[in-house]
Structures are given as structure tokens and as C-alpha cells.
Chains A and B, each alone.
Chain A
């Protein structure tokens, strides 16, 4: 089989287990430690499996940040990715989905011989869910999105694409971009050896200027949108809570009767 070179876009996000907050300019507070978005661990695993199946090739991570953070990238390198390109620039803060896609596209342009680009369907923090489509358009690539199963053979990629009603079998030719859902594969845990090796793997850190991008195309200016209000959503009140003493089902039946459902 020919070598398989896969680029995986990965996002470093604030730990979702911690309560999130917004900065004064209404961007997400990303000042604490950033971790690998769990949504991206599936793409990393998929890439590792595809390269292993091909027998040769490389997995390159591409990531975008405003603050030079690498801890999330190291987690993905520890899983087994070979190298990373990290675009780090203050001007990236406030970028929207299209701005992010423009930076990713320019960064992927630095990687040679790309057969496949893998993205998550959506990030866990912003969940716009459109970067994969925007990126494939900017790169001029065919795309197969929302993949829950991916197979590669004879220069073609075949995916099971989730739909509202079930799934479609979709086929396209390489090079291509595929966005994968959580659960497409089971991500591995980094081994101790992997964690140690990750410390010395190459991370090519570049700025917007290195990519030939003007700061006005990204960040708040490039986003061409203004946040006009941030308000707490109306909270839902909790009702009655009881501990089951063996008769909780009667309580449920009574509630359903009251609602005239039965």
C-alpha cells in the first residue's frame, strides 16, 4: 500500500469539567491550562490506525491558539502522532469559525503530501460545527462529513455518514477531508513511553505572518460580527426528589396519570 499522510486538526480547550467564563470582550476565557479537546482524540486515533494499516506515513497535528499553549498538543503526540504545526499569535483571539478555518488552511499548506485531513464534527467548547466544511472549501478538497465509520481502499475513502434518520454510505477520492464523530474509534490512552517520547517530538510553531496571513482576516476584525448581549438563560427549577423504597414506580404512574399521559 502507498504511504498514508494524515493531518488531524486539534483544538486545545479549557477543561470542560471546570466552570467556563467569558473575558471582558466576551471571548471564552482560555487563560488556564488548556487540554486536548476530547472530540479531537477520535480523529487522532483514526489517523494512527489508518497510517498503521497503510504500513507507512505520518500523522501531523495542526492547531491554532492565541497563547502558545502546547499541553493539549503533547497529549495527542503522546498518543502517537509524529509532529505538530502550532499557529500561535495574539491576533487570533476572537476568531470565528471562518477565521479559524483560514488559519488552519494556511497551516495545512505547510505540510507536504497530505492524503487525508481529519477533523472533529464540532469542538466541545464552541460547537459551531462548520469548520470542517469551511476548511474543505478553502483547501479545495472533497469532503465526507459526520463519519461514524471510515474505510480507505484504492485511493478512495468510504464513510458511514450520520444523518437525521440513520446513515448514508458516502464515497469520495483522496485527497479528502473527513470529519469524524465521537465514537468512530476508541481513542487509546497514551503509554508512559508515549508521554516521554512526546516531549521531544517536533512542534513547528508559526505566526500569522509566517503563514502570509494578515491579522485583519482573523480575530475580532475578521469575524465581522459583534456580540451585543450576554445574558443568563432562564433556569429550570428542580421539582420533587424521592429515594426509591421499592414503590417509586407507583409515584411515576401517579405523575403520568396527573399529566393525562396514561
Chain B
């Protein structure tokens, strides 16, 4: 069973469509007869081919927003479409900063509920059904929308597999933004903080460090190890909050969701907030001094030991092989 039309929020950085968008497009094709994308920004032509190849027949694009933060203008433009009867049956967003801003404002504008943090989506009786993990991912709650009007759904990254549809480039159509929705909050400068090497949410190996490292300087071991394994360095929320590493490194509920072949947790106790972001990894190695640490409950190989002793030897062993 499907719904008639789904619109997917397209996100892109420097002309490259983000992975979450491709994941959503793949899922949307299962759920809807027609899949279209919408995009806040000037360079829709640059991403139309990729969006089309993943199943979007059209991309509704706002054009240049003059640096306005996306929430207000994109929500206003979408609400106008809904008011004109030209909207979809469901709006699909990634649980990302811009996704939450637009979806939240849209929900208030058109007075429709939204469901956030979903990991599975379905259609039953012509309505969208969404599944959200609660209690640190130990329980799944499945919810369906009631009442008239479009469904608004936000899905967590890495919930669905991206897949090409073989479609041609999406047709770019104008998504009109009301003039009073521009300029309220403006982006004046962008900073990219990602480390060099593979991206955290795409790497086959992720090596993460936590409070057990003791001090910020010791994070260097995590970076060295990640490099030796051709992986990406990650972090627990504790050391991001403490300012040791930037937020872009954070794995967990409030950070990135990762599902690498190997996830190595070093000096991370495994708070539910962290587990939610990494327990989908294929293989998990954990090193922690506390043998009762919850991280061992999900680890395929658990080392009860001191990261300051284990990591230097591991680094030396790997260096001697290369």
C-alpha cells in the first residue's frame, strides 16, 4: 500500500547531495506513488541529476535565500503550497538541524503533528506509520497519523539504505518564498570542522574516544589509530561537551549515527545516548577500565583494561605492519 505523493527534504553541501537525502528518497519510493524533492538554496540545478537518479521526478527549489537560515523561508514556502492544495500527502525530513527547523515551523504553520527520530516507515490504511526507538533503543513505538492534512515525518540517518532508481534528472520547479520570510536570521559565515580522511558517518572503521582518555591531549591516540585503520575518529558526548573535540566528531543520539564494519570504543562507558548512535555497527570492540561498563553489553570483543596501556601497544603493532 502506498500514499499518493511524498516530498523529501533535499540537503546538500557544496553541490553534493547528503547521504540522508538519498536514504529518504529510497524509502519514499516504497511508500509513495510519486516522489518529489524540495530544496532551500540557489544551486538546485547542480543536484537535480543526483536527486533524479535516486527517484525524485521534480525538485521544488526556492532559489537564492540571501543567507537566510532555512527554517523560516522553506517552511513558509511549503505551507503556502499546502494552503493552495498543491502539497503532498507526506513531508519527509532527516533528523538534522535544518530538517528539524523546517519541519517544526511547518508543523506549527499548518497545524499538523510531526513524528521525529523514526527508524522505520510504512503505510497502513492509506496513512503513514512511523516507528521511533525509546528508552535508549530498547523499545520501539509505532505511531500513525490521524486527522486530515499532510503527515510530517523526520527519520534518523542510517535508517534506510540509499539506492538508485535509474531515473533521469529531476525537473527543477520554483518553490515561491513569501518576501517577509527572508532575512530574519542570517548565516554570516560557515565553518567546516570535519577531520580529513573518510567521513565519520561513511567510514568502514570508526575509532571513538571518551572521558576515559583522561585529558584532551590523549585524543591524539584516537586520531592516530583511526588513520592507521583508514577510518574516522569519533567521540562521546562527554568529551565534545568538555570541548576536547568539535561536535562534528560526536557519535550518539544528539550526534551522528554510524554503522561501520568496525566500531572501536576507547574509554567510553556506553551511556544510552551513545549506544543509540553506534549499536547498529557490524562489529564492536570496546576498551574500558570498568568491567561493569554498559558498553560491554553490546561489544563483540570487550577488553577490560586501561586505554593508556592498550592503545599505545595497538598503535605500535599496527605501525610495525605497515
Interface of B: prevailing SS: mixed
Pick from A130, A138, A182, A225: contact of B145, CB under 8 Å: A225
CB distance from A141 to the nearest CB of B (A): 9
Question: Which residues 210-269 of B have a CB within 8 angstroms of A?
Answer: 229, 237, 240-243, 246-248, 253-254, 256, 261-262, 264
Report if A137-B104 is in contact (Cβ < 8 Å); known contacts: A166-B246, A236-B298. Answer: yes
Asked if A163 is an interface residue, CB under 8 A from chain B, the answer is: yes
Which residues of the partner chain A approach B105 to less than 8 Å between Cβ atoms? 133-134, 136-137
CA–CA, A136 and B100, complex, Å? 13
Question: Please, which residue of chain B has its CB at the minimum distance from the CB of A161?
Answer: B97
Asked if B133 is an interface residue, CB under 8 A from chain A, the answer is: yes
Asked if A244 is an interface residue, CB under 8 A from chain B, the answer is: yes
A132 touches B318 (CB 8 A): no
Which residues of the partner chain B approach A176 to less than 8 Å between Cβ atoms? 185
Asked if B87 is an interface residue, CB under 8 A from chain A, the answer is: no
B101 touches A133 (CB 8 A): yes
CA–CA, A227 and B248, complex, Å? 34
B247 touches A172 (CB 8 A): no
Interface of A: prevailing SS: mixed
Asked if B198 is an interface residue, CB under 8 A from chain A, the answer is: no
Which residues of the partner chain B approach A136 to less than 8 Å between Cβ atoms? 105
Q: Which of the candidate stretches B42-50, B51-59, B167-175, B304-312 sits at the interface with the other chain?
A: B304-312
CA–CA, A59 and B313, complex, Å? 52
A137 touches B108 (CB 8 A): yes
B117 touches A167 (CB 8 A): no
Question: Please, which residue of chain A has its CB at the minimum distance from the CB of B295?
Answer: A238
Interface 1/0s, chain A 116-135, versus B by CB < 8 A? 00000110000111111111
CB distance from A260 to the nearest CB of B (A): 9
Which residues of the partner chain B approach A90 to less than 8 Å between Cβ atoms? none
Interface 1/0s, chain A 151-168, versus B by CB < 8 A? 000000000111111111
B303 touches A233 (CB 8 A): no
Asked if A198 is an interface residue, CB under 8 A from chain B, the answer is: no
Asked if A52 is an interface residue, CB under 8 A from chain B, the answer is: no
Which residues of the partner chain A approach B193 to less than 8 Å between Cβ atoms? 165-167
CB distance from A51 to the nearest CB of B (A): 22
Q: List 22 A-B contacts (CB under 8 A).
A: A97-B116, A121-B254, A127-B116, A133-B105, A136-B105, A148-B247, A162-B247, A164-B13, A164-B248, A164-B256, A166-B194, A166-B246, A169-B188, A169-B191, A171-B185, A225-B145, A226-B146, A238-B297, A243-B304, A244-B310, A252-B310, A262-B318
Identify the A interface with B (CB < 8 A).
19-20, 22, 26, 96-98, 101, 121-122, 127-138, 142-146, 148, 160-173, 176, 181-183, 223-233, 235-236, 238-244, 246, 248-253, 255-256, 259, 261-262
List 3 tightest A-B contacts by C-beta distance, closest first: A133-B104, A244-B305, A183-B241
Q: Besides the contacts A128-B114, A134-B107, what 18 more A-B pairs have beta carbons closer than 8 Å?
A: A98-B111, A98-B112, A98-B114, A130-B103, A132-B104, A138-B108, A143-B71, A165-B192, A167-B191, A182-B254, A231-B140, A231-B142, A236-B279, A241-B304, A242-B302, A246-B309, A252-B264, A252-B285
